[in-house]
Structure 1
Amino acid sequence: MARLHLTFECQGARCGATLDNAPGTTGLLVVSGGNEIRAGAFNGQAHLAAQIATAGFPVFRFDRRGIGDSEGENRGFRKSRSDIAAALLAFRAIAPQVQRVVGFGNCDASSALMLAGGAGCDALILSNPWTIEDGEDDSPPPSAIRSRYLEKLKNPRELIRLISGQVDLKKLARGLLKAGRTQGTPSSLAEEMRQGLESFDGRSAILLAEADRTAQVFAERWDADDARMARCPGADHAYSSAEAQLWLRQQILATLRSQRVK
């Protein structure tokens, strides 16, 4: 496996990218979420790319315009279709053996892929999709709050805290009020993402970290019977534990192997 740092053009702006090369004809395009650089939090995406490339699949990561090593204006995930498409072209140019590309994103990067109808990728891995509107309360949804309170009730220490007056009763009351709601707030963003994904005719996998509130909100706003969803118990947003990292890597490799050209 060799790592190559390079640049590509997107509508007149020079963008930074990294290729972890491998001989495989199916590759992984990593789309970064938020304003995160292509290395990822605590270099997590760089480590993941190296592991996937070691398994035989080339991996291309890039900085969206206005982020990290890339020039231009940061227009946010909603307007990143051109960035993803330009990165995909650059990936195919620098690794000409690649015949199929799987797009992978976490948080609003997966939302960007959905809004763009896959942006030209052959398959998608959509992790913890962001469905929270600008200015909206991003606290956990009612189902997650109910689950948390049930766990607390099973913990003798939490009961002692309640009886001894160590619990903020006003905060508890607000939490119980929200827990009593039957469903979360509707989201027009989620509906746009649904429509975008419906226009995509490739394979899609939706990965949810069960301890992540972004994933919890998404689950409230999505079809609970969607067979494409897989959940990682106890995982946080970045899959930071060793067990969660292994689970994520296995899910990605399974999709990549399903896209191998025969």
Structure 2
Amino acid sequence: MSYTEETTSFACEGERLVGILNQPDTPAQTGVVVVVGGPQYRAGSHRQFVLLARALADAGFAVLRFDYRGMGDSEGQPRQFDAVSADIAAAIDALQQRVASLQQVVLWGLCDGASAALLYCFESNDPRVTGLCLLNPWVRSEASLARTQIKHYYTQRLMQKAFWQKLLSGRMALAALSDLTDNIRLSTSGSGWLRTEKQSFQQSMALGLQRFNGPILLLLSGDDYVAKEFLEYVNTDAAWKDAWAHAHLQRHSLPEVDHTCSSAASRQWVEQLTLDWLTQQAATPQRSQEAMTA
């Protein structure tokens, strides 16, 4: 299907955000807002977003990808992923205004973009959002990082002959051994700095997922410490128990795929999984236009 690709700008709390809209000639009733993560080189994850948007638009889905306030060409002060809900809401408004046939929106996010999407659902319960596609969500904490490093790095190192040769020859730096003992201590200390009176962003993400009534596509790369850390976190944190059992959660593991799906085969795999899932959701009766604009 033919489509246009053009820049667009829209307001968010008095500041101008800049995005790229891919709009098919005959768009589906479901649109996609790509929630980007932190600053990246243009040939990394942002190139993935470009190709994803074009693939989805070619299949008939309107796609808006944009820069938060303080990022790229958008105005405002830089902000962290846990403070961009207003930006996401403004992007949904913009997509809805520019695509008249739109009846529901899916949020698609990578890394802290996926985390921001869940936080948006927790904070807003926006009825316009009827689906989530999450690739390698970010749940970083000291304890979860330590557990991940021990399980997926140090355990592997202990099986290597070169490791023991360095250790026995005295060529292993004391700092390396100190890092290992620190990680062991942190991995058994619960959530570390997260044990505060304020609810952590990881807990808010879990609640956002629990409360979300729509379908969720979760993609986890096999060759990615962020994805491994996510699995470690959700399997050990009580707040994620109910979230992990979400009735409409569809999960796919992607062996040998890295964090940003940097190879052509990886990108195409993610594009196809996303497209298949979107097509399935588009064929399912969704909320009415009145609910979307309520």
Q: TM-score range by the shorter chain?
A: 0.7 to 0.9
Amino acid at match of 2:104: R
Contact 1:27–1:256 (CA under 8 A) maintained in structure 2:
no
Distance 1:44 1:193 in 2: 24
Task: Kindly state the Cα deviation for residue 255 of structure 1 after the two structures are TM-superposed.
Answer: 2.3
Please, which of 40, 47, 51 is the counterpart of residue 47 of structure 1? 51
Please, which of 203, 217, 227 is the counterpart of residue 191 of structure 1? 203
Distance 1:249 1:195 in 2: 28
Task: Kindly state the Cα deviation for residue 69 of structure 1 after the two structures are TM-superposed.
Answer: 1.8
Please, which of 244, 252, 257 is the counterpart of residue 235 of structure 1? 257
Q: TM-score by structure 1 length?
A: 0.83
Q: TM-score by structure 2 length?
A: 0.75
Equivalent residue, structure 1, for 2:292: none
Which shows bigger deviation, 164-173 or 16-25?
Answer: 164-173
Equivalent residue, structure 2, for 1:122: 130
Q: Does residue 1:254 correspond to 2:276, yes or no? A: yes
Alignment of structure 1 residues 51-90 onto 2, 5 Å: 51-90=55-94
The answer for unaligned runs of 5 or more in structure 2 is: 195-199, 285-294
Alignment of structure 1 residues 209-220 onto 2, 5 Å: 209-220=221-232
Q: Does residue 1:178 correspond to 2:183, yes or no? A: yes
Structure 1 residues 261 and 89, CA, compared in 2 at 3 Å: closer, same or farther?
farther
Distance 2:166 2:268 in 1: 36
Partner of 1:19, secondary structure, is strand
Distance 1:38 1:92 in 2: 27
Structure 1 residues 87 and 130, CA, compared in 2 at 3 Å: closer, same or farther?
same
Count residues with an aligned counterpart. Answer: 259
Equivalent residue, structure 2, for 1:6: 8
| Root mean square deviation, CA, Å | 3.0
Equivalent residue, structure 2, for 1:147: 152
Partner of 1:211, secondary structure, is coil
Structure 1 residues 35 and 138, CA, compared in 2 at 3 Å: closer, same or farther?
farther
Contact 1:38–1:62 (CA under 8 A) maintained in structure 2:
no
Q: Does residue 1:204 correspond to 2:216, yes or no? A: yes
Task: Kindly state the Cα deviation for residue 246 of structure 1 after the two structures are TM-superposed.
Answer: 2.6
The answer for unaligned runs of 5 or more in structure 1 is: none
Distance 1:237 1:68 in 2: 21
Higher helix residue share: 2
**Which stretches of structure 1, 4 residues or longer, exceed 6 Å deviation after superposition?**
37-40
Task: Kindly state the Cα deviation for residue 261 of structure 1 after the two structures are TM-superposed.
Answer: 4.4
Which shows bigger deviation, 171-180 or 51-60?
Answer: 171-180
Contact 2:135–2:220 (CA under 8 A) maintained in structure 1:
yes
Q: Does residue 1:27 correspond to 2:11, yes or no? A: no
Task: Kindly state the Cα deviation for residue 123 of structure 1 after the two structures are TM-superposed.
Answer: 0.3
Structure 1 residues 137 and 177, CA, compared in 2 at 3 Å: closer, same or farther?
closer
Amino acid at match of 2:214: G
